[in-house]
Structure 1
C-alpha cells in the first residue's frame, strides 16, 4: 500500500517544517522563500503539491548504502542535474562536464550524500517552473534550502527504510 510523506511548514517560521511518515515526525528545512503553489526557477521556494518519490542517489564514500525499496544508485563525480530552462535536458540528470547551467550532484558538503528525486516538474518538464527539487540531507542548523525538503541524515535513513515504489511526498 502506498504511503505519503506529509510536509507541513511551521506557521511562525516559513523555512522550517515537519515531515511525517505514519508515526514518525521529524523536523525539516524548507526553501528560503517558504512554500508556494506557483513555483518558478530560482525563487527559493519549496513547491506545494504531491510528488512521487522516483529514485535515490547516495555517496558510497560517505556511509553505507541506504536501506530502501526505492531504486538506488551511487552518485559519482560526473553526475549533474540540468537547471537551465532553455536546455533540452532541463530538470534532468546529466553527465559532467556539461556546458549548460547545472548542479553538481557530487558536492563538497554533505547535503547530497543521500538525495531522493521527486517527480516535481518532470513529466513533462515545463521551462522555468523549477528544477532539482529534491528530498536531501539538511545542514546541521536546518538553514533554508533553495527549494528542496531536507532532514537530518539519521532521519533520512530511518524514513528511507520504510519507503518503496509508489510512495510520495505531499507538501502542504
Structure 2
C-alpha cells in the first residue's frame, strides 16, 4: 500500500492503511480500512516500554486482549485472558501496539462481522500495510497521541 497522508493540527503526517485499501463495506478479516468519520475513544500504552503519554491513557497489561470473534458477545471489545473466544493480544512482542489509539469503528455496539480492532498504531515500516488500521511513524504517533483527546475525529476517505 502506498503511504497516504493525514492532516492534524496544521501538520501533515505520512501513514499507511490496510492491505485491502479503504472500503465502505468493512468485513472482518478483509484487510481494509473502513471509510468514514471515526472518533478516538481511548488511548493504550505499554508502561514497561514507555512513560504514560497523557493523563487519560490506560496501560496495557499482560492479560489484555481485543475480541475479534464475530460470534462472541464481547466482539470488538477489550477482554482479559483467559478468554475462550478468538482475541488479539494487545501486549505484543513487537512494538506495533506499544501506543494505540482506539477508534469507535463498530463500537460500542458491535455488529457481528463488520470488523474489529480498527486502531491507530505505529507502522512496521513506511509503505507496509496494516490489517485495516491506520499506522504512523513511531515519532509522529507519539506527537499525535500527546495532542488528541477523546472524541478527536479520524476521517478516512
* 1:127 aligned partner: 112
* 2:12 aligned partner: 25
Q: Per-residue deviation at 1:125? A: 0.4
Residue aligned with 1:19, SS = strand
* 2:36 aligned partner: 49
In the alignment, the residues of structure 2 paired with residue 153 and residue 111 of structure 1 have an alpha-carbon distance, to the nearest angstrom, of 9
Q: Point out where structure 2 has 5 or more consecutive residues left out of the alignment.
A: none
Aligned pairs for 1:85-164 (under 5 A) are: 85-164=70-149
Runs of 4+ in 1 over 3 A off after TM superposition: none
Q: Check conservation: 1:15, 1:34, Cα contact below 8 A.
A: no
Q: Point out where structure 1 has 5 or more consecutive residues left out of the alignment.
A: 1-13
Are positions 1:39 and 2:26 aligned together? yes
Provide Cα deviations, 1:1-53, integer angstroms capped at 9, x if missing partner.
xxxxxxxxxxxxx5531121032111111101111011000000000011110
* 2:62 aligned partner: 77
In the alignment, the residues of structure 2 paired with residue 27 and residue 66 of structure 1 have an alpha-carbon distance, to the nearest angstrom, of 21
RMSD of the TM alignment (CA)? 1.3
In the alignment, the residues of structure 1 paired with residue 156 and residue 121 of structure 2 have an alpha-carbon distance, to the nearest angstrom, of 15
Q: Pick one of 145, 153, 157 that aligns with 1:168.
A: 153
TM-score normalised to structure 1 length: 0.87
Q: Check conservation: 1:17, 1:29, Cα contact below 8 A.
A: yes
Provide Cα deviations, 1:106-141, integer angstroms capped at 9, x if missing partner.
001110000011000013200000000000111134
Change over 3 Å in CA distance of 1:82–1:19 after alignment to 2: same
* 2:46 aligned partner: 59
Structure (1 or 2) with the greater strand fraction = 1
